[in-house]
Amino acid sequence: MTITEKIIARHSGKESVVPGEFVECSVDLVLANDITGPLAINEFEKAGAKKVFDPDKIVLIPDHFTPCKDIQSAELVKKLRNFARKHRVRFYEIGKVGIEHALLPEEGLTRPGDFIVGADSHTCTYGAVGAFSTGMGSTDIASAMITGKVWIKVPSSIKFIYKGKKNKYVGGKDLILYTIGKIGVDGANYKSMEFTGETIRDLPMDDRFTICNMAIEAGAKNGIIEPDDITLLYFEEKGIFHPDIIKSDEDTFYEDIIEIDVSDIMPQVSAPHLPSNSKNVDEYENVKIDQVVIGSCTNGRITDLRRAASILNGHTIHPEVRCIIIPATQKIYQQALKEGLIDIFLTAGCVISPPTCGPCLGGHMGVLGEGETAIATTNRNFIGRMGHPKSYVYLSNPEVAAASAIKGKITHPDKI
């Protein structure tokens, strides 16, 4: 079996499972946010449930409109807060909250071998630590909060083998954008994307999170990377030793095996209005921009901020561009402050946002107006994603975004 099939089998009480099989699985963690959580709570109450299956395995995270931008968002968070108090489930208040898919790994709540479900499509992020994690609708999440179980169809797997030496300024974001460009936004529809190869084994955890985070942008059920020494060190630094390590069998069946030579990959940019419109940054140079967003559950971690700061240091944001920096969690914000990154950003003319999803979903803290163009380290560039239906979003890594903020147009970092 593959690593995904092994985790599903273990959580369904079976010795083995095969793609296409329907099984019921016990869950290790259930999560929801300030948009999806209230819907799940409504269904929970409509079902007449009196208690959750396990308070320690449920997490409610108000990250999309944090801090609350209006009365409606305040009411949504209030609903989460009241439910959390009543049922004593985990809830992260302002001052402790962060973008969920950066916060939960940081807190050590997502571990190898876990079966994790969340009412957010980017729940697939946790595959980076060797967990099976997938997004579900709020009704399914309500059921999971009551029973501790979900049903699932076992996905078939596609193995992506990355080899070769990465070029300068190429990181996890570029690898996944290139991959989505290669197979399309439905190229892994309801499949498990298993990322492996010498290049992946050399990647730090933050880049792995970025890759698995965007598996959903290829239509995947989940993305996953086998735990290795880098994973073990990541958990040891959190005081978690000997986590459950599961690996794919060498003789297992994959629906497809795709090999990618990363030496062919340059920094990528995805043009509106699909992540699959991915090409080398040079293909989109001279596209004028109005806004830059560096953050999100995809690229708001400390290494992402370091990469952006390495480009912005000593430079000034273009006078016709607004640049928004969003550390993904309070701890990342604090670390960036200690390292002097925040000072670099402020001196360059950026604005620093508290941890929030904010502009990524067109929520707040940087909504685009009609005809405006942004380049962002976020994960989606659909029509109207960051604001007006007639606005435009390009996706990139932190270095390209920072370089573009300086020049006022999409720019290769080498041009700075």
Q: Give the pLDDT confidence score for residue 343 in this predicted structure.
A: 98
DSSP secondary structure, 336-366, as one string: HHHTTHHHHHHHHT-EEPPS--GGGGT-SSS
Residue type, 199: T
For residue 54, name the pLDDT band (cuts at 50, 70, 90): very high
Is the model's pLDDT at 358 over the cut of 90?
yes
For residue 352, name the pLDDT band (cuts at 50, 70, 90): very high
Rounded alpha-carbon distances, angstroms, from residue 350 to 95, 198, 293, 345: 22, 37, 10, 5
For residue 241, name the pLDDT band (cuts at 50, 70, 90): confident
Q: Residue 164: which region, alpha, beta or left (left: phi > 0; alpha: psi -120 to 50)?
A: left
For residue 13, name the pLDDT band (cuts at 50, 70, 90): very high
For residue 242, name the pLDDT band (cuts at 50, 70, 90): confident
Q: Give the pLDDT confidence score for residue 318 in this predicted structure.
A: 98
Q: Give the pLDDT confidence score for residue 277 in this predicted structure.
A: 97
Is the model's pLDDT at 286 over the cut of 90?
no
Nearest to 11 by CA among 155, 124, 132, 138: 132
Q: Give the pLDDT confidence score for residue 244 in this predicted structure.
A: 81
Domains parsed from the chain with CATH numbers: 3-260 (3.30.499.10), 268-415 (3.30.499.10)
Which two tokens mark 325?
């920096």
3 state DSSP class of 158: strand
CA distance 393 to 361: 11
Residue type, 283: E
Q: Give the pLDDT confidence score for residue 412 in this predicted structure.
A: 97
Q: Give the pLDDT confidence score for residue 243 in this predicted structure.
A: 79
pLDDT (tens digit per residue) in 18-37: 999 999 999 999 999 999 99
Q: Is 319 buried (19+), middle (13-18) or exposed (0-12) by CB count in 10 A?
A: exposed
Q: Give the pLDDT confidence score for residue 66 in this predicted structure.
A: 87
Which two tokens mark 1?
């079996």
Mean pLDDT of the chain: 97
Task: Summarize the confidence of residues 136-159 as an average pLDDT.
Answer: 97
For residue 118, name the pLDDT band (cuts at 50, 70, 90): very high
* Cα-Cα-Cα-Cα dihedral sign, residues 52, 3, 210, 327: positive
- Cβ distance 290 to 321 under 8 Å? yes
pLDDT over 70, % of the chain: 100
For residue 116, name the pLDDT band (cuts at 50, 70, 90): very high
Beta partners for 33? 61
pTM listed for this prediction: 0.95
For residue 377, name the pLDDT band (cuts at 50, 70, 90): very high
Among 171-180, 233-242, 332-341, 352-361, the range scoring the smallest mean pLDDT is 233-242
- Give long-range contacts, CB 8 A cutoff, 24+ apart: 380-387: 380/217, 380/275, 381/270, 381/271, 381/272, 381/273, 381/274, 381/275, 381/277, 382/273, 382/274, 383/272, 383/273, 385/360, 385/361, 386/293, 386/359, 386/360, 386/361, 386/362, 387/359, 387/362
Dmax (CA) of the chain: 62
Detail the DSSP E strand segments found in 94-252: 115-118, 132-135, 149-153, 157-163, 192-196, 222-224
